[in-house]
Chains A and B, each alone.
Chain A
Amino acid sequence: MTSLAIIVFLIVAGTVWGGFFIMLGIAIKSEKKNQ
């Protein structure tokens, strides 16, 4: 992949996938706390 494509991949996938896993982490932590 070209370096420009890699940068865009990191930004987009980082935001979308990163956002998902951060939120998932918060949800799991909160569920554990509530148990």
Chain B
Amino acid sequence: MQKEEFFTSRWGLILATLGIAVGTGNIWRFSRIVAQNGGGSFLIPWMIFLFVWSLPLIIAEFAIGKYARKGPVGAIAKIAGKKFTWMGAFIAFVSTAIMFYYSVVTGWTLRYLYASVTGKIFETTNHLKFWNSFASGTQPLLFHFFAMLIGSFVIYKGVVKGIEKTNKFLVSALVIILIVILVRAVTLPGAVKGLNYFFTPKLEYILDYKVWLNALTQNAWDTGAGWGLILTYAVYMRKQEDIPVNAALIGFGNNSISLVAGIIIFSTVFSLSSVDAMSQITQSGPANTGLTFIYLPLLFSHLSSNITVNIIFASLFFLALSFAAISSLISLIELTTKTIIDFGFDRKKAIILVGSLGFLLGIPSALDLNIFANQDWVWGVALILSGGFIAFAIVKFGVVEFRNKLINDEYSNIKIGKWYDIIIKYLIPFQAIVLLIWWLASSISWDSEWWNPFHVANAGTCFLQWGILLLAVVLLNKKIYKQIFGNK
């Protein structure tokens, strides 16, 4: 029998869970999507979807994990019933598939941190060439290995000495670093131009349904809500922990950090860019990395005539990005490890297995950006299904009973009202269906062979990979259940 571990304090739980939510998406994706969707016009729907997608699902994950005390597979089976174990297996697999390539992203951030600290990032003026020579070589493989090694070591140390202790440091340091960069960014000459763009709404964008769907997508991808990760950490929360306030702290905290990152990026780009700032901020670049790995290093080189100052700020930026990436990678590794532990392995054996497989199955994404982009597309869109499955599980359990017994328990600091039932029963499934149809239908506009499963990003490749996964988990439903719960 393994010794059960719990987060030692409420603050340990909050910082660890914030570590899940705050990732590279807050820093590099958020600013690009804001710029592409009309600046201030995007911020309004982005804020609304925090309340109708992210927060309800974060609350749900906390409640499910605390009640079931199992990873996503066992937890969904316990909430929705034996017949729906496959839904939990789908959620767990999607986050595991994301772990494989997210470790590659973490490796990129570590590589750029190294290049910043050593000043090598400023030895060139052609940053696109710098990125291409890095991405097309074998270095991403080496840094992917380091990222998996760091993440696996933290999980090997366990919940308290590994996850809690590491996140306390990473998340606190990340916030301090971002505040230091924020002060510098907003005091740059011309920063106010960036702030004006960032916060000024334009009516034509507010009336555009695509802006609203992009805002919902950003919430679905960036808060970590509906991925099964918060559910996994909630397994280790103490019985006397509150759910509603802790969940709200994660949702508001995550979006607060996005807002800080947005202010930093818009102020810096508008202040330092010698050409059209908007064209730089909205460029996706290879695998959506353009702004972070190509344009920002260029801008940092114009920050001051003193190279040491430029090195310090570039290093701080990539340090913050690395911390955000590592804290999220840790949670992805823990989800897979916990799932394997539920299957009867001990933590040490499970982490050796997950670490090795994570490295091996991440290799294709590390060596080929097309494979990376394909995996990012297929499993990123699948997360919307995961969120829908969590809402479905609660409906099967009984929404009112779920709210009254699992959320509003004797330890909750505030009580959640009936509005929650409507959101889980109707709004989350509606949003998931609309978003799924929109993303898959959109692929027709950029790929005339949208049905071809061997293209990088279209509906066909999603249907093929999801289809194989769904077939496997549905067929293995009984076996998976039996492996976790025995003959109960």
Chain A residues within CB distance 8 Å of chain B = 1-2, 4-6, 8-9, 11-13, 15-17, 19-20, 23-24, 26-27, 30-31, 34
Contacts and interface: CB of A to CB of B under 8 A. Distances in A.
A30 B413 contact: yes
A12 B256 contact: no
Nearest to A7: B199
A31 B7 CA distance: 15
Nearest to A31: B10
Contacts of B196: 1-2, 5
B200 interface: yes
B33 interface: no
Contacts of A15: 47
A27 B252 contact: no
B190 interface: no
A22 B305 CA distance: 42
A16 B256 contact: yes
Interface stretch (B81-89, B241-249, B435-443, B451-459): B241-249
A12 B14 CA distance: 23
Contacts of B198: 5
Interface of B: 10, 14, 40, 43-44, 47, 50, 192, 195-196, 198-201, 240, 242, 245-246, 248-249, 252-253, 255-256, 259, 413-414
Contact of A8 (B40, B253, B414): B40
Given A8-B40, A19-B252, A26 B413 contact: yes
Contact of A24 (B201, B240, B249, B414): B249
Given A5-B195, A8-B199, A23 B47 contact: no
A12 B45 CA distance: 10
A5 B196 CA distance: 6
A9 B259 CA distance: 10
Nearest to A18: B252
Interface class of chain A by DSSP: helix
Sorted nearest first, the 8 A-B pairs with minimum C-beta distance are A20-B252, A5-B199, A19-B252, A23-B248, A8-B199, A9-B199, A5-B200, A8-B40
B414 A26 contact: yes
A4 B248 CA distance: 28
Nearest to B259: A16
A27 B413 contact: yes
A8 B43 contact: yes
B147 to A, nearest CB: 29
A12 B312 CA distance: 31
B152 to A, nearest CB: 32
A22 to B, nearest CB: 8
A13 B245 CA distance: 19
A15 B413 CA distance: 20
Contacts of A1: 192, 195-196, 199
B242 A30 contact: yes
20 contacts: A1-B196, A1-B199, A4-B199, A5-B200, A6-B199, A8-B43, A8-B44, A8-B199, A11-B44, A11-B47, A12-B47, A16-B50, A16-B256, A16-B259, A17-B256, A17-B259, A19-B248, A27-B10, A27-B242, A30-B413
B242 A20 contact: no
A31 B414 CA distance: 14
A1 B266 CA distance: 13
A15 to B, nearest CB: 6
A8 to B, nearest CB: 5
B255 A16 contact: yes
Nearest to B242: A30
B255 A4 contact: no
Contact of B200 (A4, A19, A23, A30): A4
Contacts of A34: 240
B249 A27 contact: yes
A12 B200 CA distance: 11
A15 B256 CA distance: 9
A16 B199 contact: no
Given A16-B255, A23-B252, A8 B245 contact: no
Contacts of B252: 16-17, 19-20, 23
A34 B179 CA distance: 32
Contacts of B240: 34
Contacts of B246: 27
Contacts of B413: 26-27, 30
A22 B255 CA distance: 15
A26 B256 contact: no
B249 A20 contact: yes
Contacts of A19: 248, 252
Contacts of B201: 4, 8
A1 B186 CA distance: 12
